[in-house]
Chains A and B, each alone.
Chain A
Amino acid sequence: MIIKRLLMGLLRRFAPRNDRKFPKLGVIVQTLISYKNYSTNKIDFRIHTLIKNRVKILPEDLTNKIAAGEVVDRPASIVKELVENAIDAGSDEIFILLKNGGKTLIQVVDNGTGMSREDAILAIQRHTTSKISNYDDLHNIKTLGFRGEALASIASVSRMELKTITNEKDAGSLIKIEGGTIDDVIDTGGARGTSVAVKNLFYNTPARRKFLKTDETEYRHILSFIQRFTLSCFDVSFTVYHNDQKIYDVKPADPEIRLVDVLGGRYKNNLVTVEDKGTVLQIWGFVGKQDTAKKSRGDQFLFLNGRYIVNRALNHAVISSFGTIIPRGEFPLYALFLEIDPRRIDVNVHPSKMEVKFADERLIYNLLRAAVKRALSSEQVIPSLSPQIGVTPQPISMSKEDFLAQQTAIPLYETAPRTQKFPGLDIPQPQLPEKKQAIQMPPSDEKFERANIWQINNQYILSEIKSGLIIIDQHVAHERILYEKALKDFEISNPASQQLLFPHVTELTPDEYSYLTDILPFLEKIGFVIKGFGGNTVVIEGVPSGMKISSPETILNEIIDEFKQNRSSSLDIRDNVAKSYSCKMAIKKGEPLTLEEMNNLIDQLFATQSPYFCPHGRPVIINLSIEELDKRFGRI
């Protein structure tokens, strides 16, 4: 009865108040009261059971499955976690076996240090890791993994077999786990290392299984992860099988060789080494030469302290250091390794660890950009025809050595200063000495045998030179000429503007008009005479002299449009105007040229600072040497 009185007191105290914080208390108390008839000694006091239909502490297997959702979202992420573990365990041989895009089987076998049985069992539980032990370590992460959730997460959504042997003389352990629960632990023998086999992924989470894509898609995802590992762990050999087919078999190798091994022969002899050892940031790695750039992304790799990362800003730093020599919409290869004091970054942003926060991103950006630019400026390559006939893939363009050798062979290029900056870079400020140089550019021995000059398809100009022949793309050649001329025109106040007999009136949109006001001073320097005509209407009274302009208003619209599109890139306004102008004004393909026009074009082209590349980075000249021809005809 004492108890009943006590309970009634409680009820009076809580029930009427309908307490918001403890809404359940009233219910609990009432329920307790209902126990009054029982013996006071035997009241079942499990409040737990009373509230479990609302809020409950999740059983461990479920929490693991939930967490698995973050870490393990598809087979590829499992491969990534397992390979990371293998690398962290100091392995130098990693085998990866896949079946059906990893859905049926993912097995990663390494020859690393292995784990003791106790460690192995612990590893399957969440937040167990040997990699960090306290909070301070979290800010000083040097291993790839550290969160301690991977194995547990994977185990919880699959049937896993973990075999690990620390020492060949001692018995190892084979642990079988099903859905996160250890089924069996038995002794096993074999070579040192760890093997994790993950079967029937997501067998117990049908919802997630449904979200898996086709085998092919999952397989591709896995491959891209594996690619990253092969490109960052050069001293580890990787052997990969998918559905019993050997996909990769790369041995420890020099980074450059590994890169070509993994990414393909097109990059052979086409890589520029980047190296910059600063105090804050150490950078090394490779960028592909401009003519190996691809229309699609995919060959861009940035590794930070050995870990593959995705960072838009740094990606931009690299791409933009190519400046204009890579056309928009094309992407150069890069595989760059940044080493930075781990305290300056935070990788614990997302479980996949691909995002990184930098303490000073701007600084890293600038350092990276400068390093790549410097590396590029030490190279200058004339794209030459790739011998696509023949069995062995050959380098698409010449290596630096080949290039220099060729330079001496072809008098045409001999006067090109070797220290000249990379084409397309840093031109916006023409300096007087360079102008002088331009004047001296075509000395007598550089002349073409001008009798032999042809136009092909109203698009390419073919001309004989001593060492063979060159092919010039008329549009991009003219673009380069106009581009440099525009940049020069910006500097000198001497615009030559052909006045028009019939001024062209054109109405712009308010948007276009506002851009026009931005770029008008530059257009005037080039030779446009454009005046306001009220509202957004303008009248074009003069155009750059010596240009063939059918429709000044169309050209103006196109320039504004192009300018608008380029605006988001890091171009400065004058560079942008010059590019937009040259792109739109240059003779197009399909335009027949007279002999005189062609000669003129070639003369002017070789008077430019970077005749080999258009402002967007496309090659202007292709060189086909006699030697090359000999090769093709099987003479040598």
Chain B
Amino acid sequence: MHFTVSKGVLQKGLQKVVGVIPTKTTIPILENVLLDLQGEKLKITGTDLEICISTDISVNGTLDGSCAVPARSLNEILRELPELPLDIQLEDGNKITIKTQNGLYRLGSQPKEEFPSIVLEDSEGQLDIDAGLLSRMINKTVFAVSTDELRATLMAVYFQFSAEELRCVATDGHRLVKIINYQVKSPDFHKDVIVPTKALSLILKNIETIEDPEKINVNLSIGENHIIFNMQDTLIYSKLIEGQYPKYENVIPIDNDKKLTVDKTELSAAVRRVSIFSNSFTHQIRFAVDGTKMKISSEDVEYGGEGNEVINVKYDADSLEVAYNGVYVIDLLKHIDTDEVNFLLKDSVSAAIVTPSTQKEKEDLMMLIMPIRLSED
């Protein structure tokens, strides 16, 4: 293997892959990236065995070949080097040298055969979605996933492909987000899959590097046990999470008839301030809504802190008092794009539906938040 490439191009390619490299692994080969040169195309691949990312960059190739090199060392030297042409060559099958005008760096390498290869099963369906839209669907849901490693199915976003729509759902059991896009249709196949959070955040990272995501198509290819996101020169493969996603439709309330409309910015700011004085365990804040006023309050019995603010709201049902985890409220509000936010309420122990005051075209965004039950005193 022998090629020359500019430092910037190689670094940019490596950046796309390096995120998947596990920081702690019992399998040392996973700390490597696979370099595979064919003609003028260098494929850089990294994997943690669940997710695999590979990206192609253009190089000036003189001799085809491949090897696996330590990702961290390669990344570090590239970071320290100025923008220079690099001459990279595999020597004796177990070393690669990186030559610059003034320098020579040698890295241990391993043969390609040592590097795990992903066996691709047949895909059951394909669909194209623009990168901007995909990014939006993921961004709106991924914040609400569970961080609990014991519940793998909730550490993921539920993708539902159907002829009418694409639906993404995330929940951690306390809150839930559902976003439907009616533009993205897959008439040929219906499939529900659970995609792990790590893969999604890698996709987001990759899309961020794209200048005009709305103009780039991402090709999704879904198999029995895997999903592949293919965009431009990069391919992200992820195993799907096996298991049953909770039957979320059943918990979406249909009889929440108390509608509360609030200015999102005002509410968000008030909640942030009041939350500072909430209990650091529960982050509990209270909404006490009565007519056109809502009092947001918190109290930390243990440390003696408390705070409250009153804001103007639109509300015409019976007065109601309900408590939430302030962190969840702030999270939800972050993902509302409109100036006003709607809360559909029922009582102090049931889920509240949170929606933007107006939906985006061909989209339906809905969030659920479970209250913290108030004492009966």
Contacts and interface: CB of A to CB of B under 8 A. Distances in A.
A225 B74 CA distance: 68
A485 B281 contact: yes
Interface stretch (A275-283, A420-428, A541-549, A624-632): A541-549
A550 B146 CA distance: 9
Nearest to A525: B375
A440 to B, nearest CB: 10
B273 interface: no
A200 interface: no
Contacts, number: 91
Contacts of B372: 496-499, 545
A527 B284 CA distance: 13
29 contacts: A435-B302, A439-B303, A493-B375, A495-B373, A497-B372, A498-B373, A499-B351, A499-B373, A500-B173, A500-B370, A501-B171, A501-B173, A501-B248, A501-B368, A501-B370, A502-B171, A502-B251, A542-B373, A546-B279, A546-B281, A546-B282, A548-B148, A549-B148, A550-B146, A550-B148, A550-B150, A550-B151, A600-B280, A603-B280
B174 interface: yes
B375 A546 contact: no
Contacts of B368: 501
A439 B174 CA distance: 30
A499 B351 CA distance: 8
Most interface-central of A438, A485, A501, A542 (chain B CB within 10 A): A501
Interface in B164-218: 171, 173-176
B181 to A, nearest CB: 23
Nearest to B284: A496
B301 interface: yes
B175 to A, nearest CB: 7
A497 B284 CA distance: 10
Contacts of B350: 499
Interface in A471-503: 485, 488, 492-502
A551 interface: yes
Contacts of B282: 496, 498, 545-546
Contact of B325 (A493, A546, A551): A546
A546 B302 CA distance: 15
B371 interface: yes
A240 interface: no
A603 B279 CA distance: 12
A551 B176 contact: no
Interface string A603-614: 110010000000
A501 B176 contact: yes
Contacts of B284: 496, 545-546
Residue in A435, A497, A527, A607 with the greatest tally of chain B CB atoms within 10 Å: A497
A529 interface: yes
B283 interface: yes
Interface in B281-327: 281-284, 301-304, 323, 325
B314 to A, nearest CB: 25
A501 B351 contact: yes
Interface in B332-377: 349-351, 368, 370-373, 375-377
Contacts of B111: none
Contacts of A500: 173-174, 370
Contact of A501 (B175, B301, B377): B175
A438 B173 contact: no
Contacts of B280: 600, 603-604
Going nearest first, the 4 A-B pairs with the smallest beta carbon separation are A550-B150, A546-B281, A545-B282, A497-B373
A161 B148 CA distance: 76
Given A529-B373, A545-B281, A545-B282, A498 B303 contact: no
Nearest to A600: B280
Contacts of A499: 174, 349-351, 370-373
B39 interface: no
A548 B147 contact: yes
Interface string A498-529: 11111000000000000000000000000101
Contacts of B303: 439, 607
Contacts of B116: none
Contact of A607 (B151, B246, B302, B373): B302
Interface residues of B, number: 37
A494 B323 CA distance: 12
A365 B149 CA distance: 48
B252 to A, nearest CB: 9
Contacts of A496: 279, 281-282, 284, 323, 372-373
A485 B375 CA distance: 16
A488 B279 contact: no
Interface in B257-293: 279-284
Contacts of B146: 550
B326 to A, nearest CB: 11
B283 A546 contact: yes
Given A501-B171, A600-B280, 17 more contacts: A493-B377, A496-B282, A496-B284, A498-B174, A498-B370, A499-B174, A501-B175, A501-B246, A501-B251, A501-B370, A502-B173, A502-B246, A545-B325, A545-B372, A546-B281, A546-B284, A551-B150
Interface string B61-101: 00000000000000000000000000000000000000000
Nearest to B350: A499
A173 to B, nearest CB: 77
Contact of A494 (B150, B281, B377): B377
Nearest to A481: B281
Contacts of A603: 280
Contacts of B150: 550-551
Contacts of B370: 498-501
Contact of B301 (A494, A497, A545, A549): A494
Contacts of A485: 281, 302
The residue in A438, A488, A493, A502 that gathers the most chain B C-beta atoms within 10 A of its C-beta is: A502
Nearest to A497: B373
B248 to A, nearest CB: 8
Nearest to B369: A501
A498 B176 contact: no
- B281, B325, B351, B368 — which one has the most chain A CB atoms within 10 A of its CB? B281
Contacts of A529: 373
A497 B280 CA distance: 15
Nearest to B349: A499
Contacts of B351: 499, 501
Interface string B219-263: 000000000000000000000000000101001000000000000
A181 to B, nearest CB: 75
A494 B372 CA distance: 11
A175 B175 CA distance: 92
Contacts of A607: 302-303
B232 to A, nearest CB: 33
A291 B85 CA distance: 63
B327 to A, nearest CB: 9
B174 A488 contact: no
Contacts of B148: 548-550
Contacts of B171: 501-502
B294 to A, nearest CB: 20
A441 to B, nearest CB: 9
A480 to B, nearest CB: 14
